Structure 1
């Protein structure tokens, strides 16, 4: 088995789990696809604490390897499902168990029960990341508190969502404002060796539930880009870098185009 810390061009050694939401190139012509974002996001600069200046982020610390839109099985339509990374058809589990991939994995699960959006990111160049201020924060994020890393509460107060939705609005809401996710909605963390998953309960806030209603009604026409970052609070923790990004292109939320979660 190779060095998990070395930069890797990963070659799958097993067949990936089935998906109904395919990876695209980012072209606007490719409806109902996902890719990484088309351009950088603005993040806090080295001098942000003094002058509030933002800059374009460098390359994300993590690479998006899977985006999955799925529905809960009919027998679980009343139960919110946590920790999608542990499910038999999860991409994270496929990487760990079938491909024996030891790279660090970050999973974001947006819970909109019975519908879910699961994003899976992997770290492809840990040595390069560890030379950056943002990489030092990433180490804290992945390290358990008992080993000197952040607690889940500290992680929640650092994890930031940076949205970018063009040509669309919701009355009284700035859709493109960066926000610490846990300040708006409930987040719960799941950890395994070299893996962190954050469960984002979208329906825990009436405001986000209201916003989602607007977005769902127009999803098949929208281009939604999201970035995640760990917020730098001091000059020593800056500049920020995005953790990872996703571009969701004109997503068709009809049941016939949505995968059903495989039951255990």
Structure 2
């Protein structure tokens, strides 16, 4: 329930974060919900997840806002009603379309702004990590010497990042509650999302999937027509391996390939000692779930990788606990992913993508109920 005097603002275009001396602007669009199927490492049968009502509370300051909306937003003149819950409340937005029928709309959720951001003094925001932060397996890695080379590009471009607090594990597992991610712009582009599920909440990274890789996102699609559509002719080795990884519905195969690389360029010794920057086959250390949300009218397809840190190893839990404690004081934390190349035909590797967090304080994140 939100209180306060509503004020009209204009929805305009989300992922692109513009800012001026007056600070960054923010807005969103509402999107309908979607039916969702899931495949995970502990359950091979797909199950249907139904939509729930969404309630948002707030914990901490208002430094977590919506970013400007999608540059392809065609609703620049649509009015949005905004109301707030007190001084540190989270905005609740509802599209004013001239009718009272919003039963098929989804609440736009707050999202982190893009760095640089004067509105938050460059805190509680994100940016795409510099590619030179990472080294990947080079073309001759398997021939001897195990030589790595600097990363020079990402296969997927970063769309944004969300951080939520919650005491309800079901809030994290129910994807239908997150259809309003990225300030309501999640389903405007084909997207791959990594969700880190912590005991206290979740961190979500969003990456845009380019057109050439979109046909591979439907994990169970193996009919003849799609095989022709899913040709990898002209792909680089890394693009081909990523396409095969996207298309696979085998959790063991996916877990055996997905590597996480976390880097803390500057920070307390205790954090840098735990976050070493070495690649880790994350599916070997944490329970991982893969889900696919199909394309629907006006909504692009979505593939999600859930990393359940709350059920991980003792070392993983300790690392997360320490990192959370110091996260707000860290100027930068880079979290990236790469699909491992295991043969010479699968090299050189290319980073899937990476997002940098800038002094993000989890205690100030909005609460999801």
Q: TM-score scaled to structure 2, two decimals? A: 0.58
Larger relative contact order (CA 8 Å, sep ≥ 6): 1
Larger Rg: 2
**Cα deviation, residue 161, structure 1:** 0.6
Are 1:135 and 2:231 counterparts?
no
Q: Which runs of 5+ in 2 are unaligned?
A: 1-69, 77-106, 214-231, 295-300
Cα RMSD for the two superposed structures? 3.0
Unaligned regions of 5+ residues in structure 1, if any? 1-8, 146-150
TM-score (norm 1): 0.79
Does residue 25 (structure 1) correspond to residue 116 (structure 2)? The answer is: yes
Alignment match of 1:59 (pick from 153, 156, 159):
153
Q: Which residue, out of 67, 73, 77, partners 1:12?
A: 73
Q: State the 1:93 CA deviation.
A: 7.6
Q: Which residue matches 2:141? A: 48
Q: Tell me which residue corresponds to 2:60.
A: none
Runs ≥4 residues deviating over 6 A: none
1:207-249 CA distance string (max 9 Å, x none): 1111111111111111100110100000000000011110001
Structure 1 range deviating more: 173-182 or 122-131: 122-131
Superposed CA deviations along residues 137-180 of structure 1, whole A, max 9, x for unmatched, are: 111122144xxxxx121011101111111233338645221111
2:181 is equivalent to residue 90 of structure 1: yes
What are the equivalent positions in structure 2 for 1:1-264 lying under 5 Å apart? 11-13=72-74, 17-25=108-116, 30-40=122-132, 41-50=134-143, 51-72=145-166, 76=168, 79=170, 81-82=172-173, 84=175, 87-91=178-182, 94-96=185-187, 99=188, 101=189, 103=190, 105-124=191-210, 126=212, 131-145=235-249, 151-167=250-266, 168-170=268-270, 173=274, 175-193=276-294, 194-204=301-311, 205-222=313-330, 223-254=332-363, 257-261=364-368
Shift of residue 86, structure 1, vs aligned partner: 6.2
